[in-house]
Amino acid sequence: MTVKKICCIGAGYVGGPTCAVIAYKCPGIQVTIVDLNQARIDAWNSDNLPIYEPGLEDVVFARRGKNLFFSTDVDKAINDADLIFVSVNTPTKKTGMGAGSAADLAYVESATRRIAEVATSSKIVVEKSTVPCRTAQSMRTILEANCRENIRFDILSNPEFLAEGTAITDLFNPDRVLIGALQTEEGLKAQQALVEIYTHWVPIERVITTNLWSSELSKLAANAMLAQRISSINALSAICEATGADVDEVAYACGRDSRIGPKFLKASVGFGGSCFQKDILNLVYLAEQFHLPEVAAYWRQVVIMNEYQKERFVHRIISTLFNTITNKKIAVLGFAFKKDTGDTRESAAITLIKDFIQEHARVHLYDPKVEHAQIYMDLIEPGVADSKAQVEKHLTICSSAYEACQDADAVVVVTEWDEFKDTHLDYQKIYDSMHKPAFIFDGRLILDAPKLRKMGFKVEVIGKHNLAGTA
Ligand code: NAD
Ligand code: UDX
Residue whose CA is at the smallest distance from ligand 2 atom 34: 264
> Are 323 and 396 contained in the same domain?
yes
92 lines ligand 1 (CB under 6 A): no
164 lines ligand 2 (CB under 6 A): yes
CA–centroid distance, 433 to ligand 2, in Å, is 34
* Number of structural domains in the chain: 2
273 lines ligand 2 (CB under 6 A): yes
Predicted ipTM of the assembly: 0.98
Which one of 90, 139, 274 would you pick to mutate in the ligand 1 pocket, going by the greatest count of ligand atoms within 8 A of its CB?
A: 274
Domain that holds residue 41: 5-202
CATH number at residue 21: 3.40.50.720
Residues of the chain with pLDDT under 70: 467-471
Domain's final residue, options 151, 173, 202: 202
Q: What is the pLDDT of residue 469?
A: 52
> Are 195 and 259 contained in the same domain?
no
Rounded (5°) CA angle 216-199-119: 60
Atom nearest to 234 CA in ligand 2? 30
User: Any alpha helices (H) in 326-448, and if so which ranges?
Assistant: 348-358, 372-379, 388-394, 401-405, 427-433
Q: Is residue 375 part of a domain?
A: yes
8, 275, 398, 405: the catalytic one is: 275
CA–centroid distance, 91 to ligand 1, in Å, is 9
Q: What is the pLDDT of residue 471?
A: 46
> Are 293 and 164 contained in the same domain?
no
Q: What is the pLDDT of residue 106?
A: 95
CA–centroid distance, 107 to ligand 1, in Å, is 9
CA distances from 84 to 6, 8, 75 (A): 6, 6, 12
For residue 174, the ligand closest to its alpha carbon is 2
Residues 46, 47, 48, 53, CA torsion sign: positive
Asked if residues 414 and 334 have their Cβ atoms less than 8 Å apart, the reply is yes
44 lines ligand 1 (CB under 6 A): no
Q: Is residue 191 part of a domain?
A: yes
> Are 196 and 249 contained in the same domain?
no
CA distances from 18 to 90, 159, 163, 219 (A): 17, 11, 11, 16
> Are 396 and 447 contained in the same domain?
yes
Helix (H, G, I), strand (E, B) or coil at 105: coil
110 lines ligand 1 (CB under 6 A): yes
> Are 191 and 281 contained in the same domain?
no
Q: Is residue 133 part of a domain?
A: yes
Q: What is the pLDDT of residue 467?
A: 58
Q: What is the pLDDT of residue 149?
A: 87
Residue whose CA is at the smallest distance from ligand 1 atom 44: 160
> Are 321 and 181 contained in the same domain?
no
**Peptide bond between residue 437 and the one before it cis (omega within 30 degrees of 0):** yes
Q: 275 catalytic, yes or no?
A: yes
> Are 178 and 325 contained in the same domain?
no
